[in-house]
């Protein structure tokens, strides 16, 4: 929505933000974010076997988290090029850390679920 406001309002400083994200790897990043965070989980949840499997549902949850993290990277990272500096490496490490924390959280949730089932 903010893109529409910047474009319709003819606000060059705000539109420049989106113009920088039309070049380089940004279209691929937002494409992966849409695929991992929306399209693939939606298609997986159409399958009854996935909806009945706790492990498959955890995988869908991780995909959604990865999609959200990629979207956040698309929003926050500076433009690629000389001014980007080490932001790319930092974002990769941040994304890997986020995925690791999500996987650990899902593992912990699975253990808690098993204990509650046996209690």
More confident residue, 59 or 83: 59
Domain that holds residue 106: 2-118
- Asked whether the whole model's pTM tops 0.95, one would answer no
In tens, the pLDDT along 41-70 reads 999 999 999 999 988 898 898 889 888 888
Count of domains in the chain?
1
CA–CA gap between residue 76 and residue 29 (Å, rounded): 12
Nearest Cα to 43, choosing from 59, 55, 28? 59
Using DSSP's 3-state secondary structure scheme, residue 80 falls into coil
CA–CA gap between residue 61 and residue 112 (Å, rounded): 17
Alpha helices in 21-119 (DSSP H): 26-34, 40-45, 48-52, 54-76, 87-118
Share of the chain above pLDDT 90, in %: 16
């Amino acid at each position: 929505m903010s893109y529409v406001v910047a474009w319709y309002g003819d606000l060059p400083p705000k539109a420049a933000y989106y113009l920088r994200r039309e070049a380089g790897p940004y279209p691929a990043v937002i494409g992966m974010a849409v695929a991992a965070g929306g399209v693939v989980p939606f298609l997986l949840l159409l399958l009854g076997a996935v909806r009945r499997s706790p492990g498959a549902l955890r995988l869908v949850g991780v995909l959604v988290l990865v999609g959200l993290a990629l979207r956040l990277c698309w929003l926050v990272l500076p433009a690629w090029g000389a001014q980007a500096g080490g932001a790319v490496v930092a974002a990769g490490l941040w994304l890997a850390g986020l995925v690791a924390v999500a996987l650990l959280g899902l593992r912990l949730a699975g253990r808690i679920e098993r204990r509650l089932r046996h209690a």
